[in-house]
Amino acid sequence: MKSIAIIGSGKIGSGILKAVKGNYPSIRIIATGRRDETIENVKRMGVEATKDNDYAVREAEVIVLTVKPQHFPVVLRQVNKDSWMGKIVISVMAGIKVSTLSSLIPNAEVYRAMPNINALVNRSTTAIAERDGRGKEYVESIFKSLGSVYWVPEDMLDAWTALIGSGPAFISEIIDAFALGAVACGMPRDLAYYAILDMIEGTIKMLKSNLNHPVMLRDQVTTPAGTTIRGLMVMESEGVKSALIKTIESAYQRAYAIGEEIDKRLRESNGK
């Protein structure tokens, strides 16, 4: 891989750009954006920047589509069909299926991936829809530079979006609740906040060191008539676990619905 184009250099696009630049300094990177602010930000990172999507696609071997799904029809109109010929195209656009992308840009080898916001600190957890092709190693290497990579059946990507894409927001809410609970007990918020982050990091390390069910760690902490069992009783009576299950399920249903809506609109707008 000698060249890559990032079409849409927003948050995720910028994260991919930084990771590729840091891990593969010899690769030519072309990044695009609609706004002057985006273009200037890309230039500050020492990367070639342009508003011309056709130029970027034409010049690159690998193209990463990081625009919002609703903006993709504009990209299609801007890029000459011949510019996609023989290219490896990776979409991180939520909801748009590989089959739809392949029908819209039939001369390209299309992949679909779903990273998350943690790409900004090179700790993304990325799913890539399973498929074989000459670009598979390139695709995996790009996302491994952002963090961990899982190849999954494409029909799992909506659940992945709910769990891993939205997950950082849900975890942030839980952490905030922990911090507020500490404040209610008289602890300064800043002290509680950083201690919580350290505790979560340590808990993750514990869980990763032993692949058994997480309830085993829970039971190690829970002693008879102790503080933990009292807290767990409240979590049970308040339906915390059930609420979290429903949170993921509801986010999944919305991800699926959005995907169906976007897919339908794209096919209709292109007469498919």
pLDDT tens sequence across 190-238: 999 999 999 999 999 999 998 678 999 999 999 999 999 999 999 999 9
Question: What is d(CA 148, CA 160) in angstroms, rounded to the nearest whole number?
Answer: 14
**pLDDT given at position 69:** 85
Taking every pair of Cα atoms in the chain, the longest distance, rounded to a whole number of angstroms, is 71
The distance of Cα 130 from the centroid of its chain, to the nearest Å, equals: 16
pLDDT at 91: 96
109-114: strand order across its sheet: 48-50, 28-32, 3-7, 62-65, 88-91, 109-114, 124-129, 147-152
Report yes or no: 203 and 220 within 8 Å, Cβ to Cβ: no
pLDDT tens readout for residues 101-124: 999 998 999 999 999 999 999 999
CB 15 within 8 A of CB 126: no
Determine the pLDDT at residue 262: 83
HSE-up (13 A, CA, CB side) for residue 134: 8
pLDDT for res 267: 76
Task: pLDDT tens for the chain, 272 residues: list them.
Answer: 789 999 998 889 999 999 999 999 999 999 999 899 989 999 999 999 999 999 999 999 999 999 988 889 899 999 999 999 999 999 999 888 999 999 999 899 999 999 999 999 999 999 999 998 999 999 999 999 999 999 999 999 999 999 999 999 999 999 999 999 999 999 999 999 999 999 999 999 999 998 678 999 999 999 999 999 999 999 999 999 999 999 999 999 998 998 888 888 887 776 65
Q: Which two structure tokens, joined as six digits, stand for 88?
A: 């490896």
Q: Which amino acid is residue 132, in one-letter code? A: D
Q: Which two tokens stand for residue 216?
A: 């085993």
What dihedral do alpha carbons 210, 213, 217, 223 form, nearest 10°? -150
CB 86 within 8 A of CB 96: no
The whole-number pLDDT of residue 271 equals: 63
- DSSP assignment of the chain: --EEEEE--SHHHHHHHHHHHHH-TTSEEEEE-SSHHHHHHHHHTT-EEES-HHHHHHH-SEEEE-S-GGGHHHHHHHS-GGGGTT-EEEE--TT--HHHHHHHSTTSEEEEEE--GGGGGT-EEEEEE----TTHHHHHHHHHTTEEEEEE-GGGHHHHIIIIISHHHHHHHHHHHHHHHHHHTT--HHHHHHHHHHHHHHHHHHHHH--S-THHHHHHH--TTSHHHHHHHHHHHTTHHHHHHHHHHHHHHHHHHHHHHHHHHHHHHTT-
Domains along the sequence of the chain with CATH: 3-153 (3.40.50.720), 167-251 (1.10.3730.10)
Of 90, 85, 61, 66, residue with least CA distance to 3:
61
CB 95 within 8 A of CB 262: yes
Say what the pLDDT of residue 10 is.
85
